[in-house]
Amino acid sequence: QKEVEQNSGPLSVPEGAIASLNCTYSDRGSQSFFWYRQYSGKSPELIMFIYSNGDKEDGRFTAQLNKASQYVSLLIRDSQPSDSATYLCAVNGPSNTGKLIFGQGTTLQVKP
């Protein structure tokens, strides 16, 4: 079992729709969860982080965490073509050293 799992996609949604990206992790001791966006040929950039169960909203983005189910998701409202990218889920281990374990990423395509 991979430490952090994501569906590689591609996930295709029409412009203006809600895109839902999902991630599961294996280590119950994980404390911190991150979503990065990576455009093709570019570096990952941090979108959101979440530490507590529940929802965290930032603009069009909402991160959801359920530690009991070991599940974290990212919702993108009013999807735009510029949101088309690979979204990487990352988990920080219990030692909280900043070492992040990444999933393989989900490719999102937003069609105009």
The minimum distance between CB 87 and another protein, in angstroms, equals 11
Instruction: Report whether the peptide linkage leading into residue 81 is cis, meaning its omega lies within 30 degrees of zero.
Output: no
Binding span for another protein by CB under 8 A among 13-21, 61-69, 74-82, 103-111? 103-111
The minimum distance between CB 109 and another protein, in angstroms, equals 15
The minimum distance between CB 84 and another protein, in angstroms, equals 16
Distance CA 69, CA 9 (A): 22
Site pattern 30..69 for another protein (x: CB under 8 A): --x-x-x-----xxxxx--x--------------------
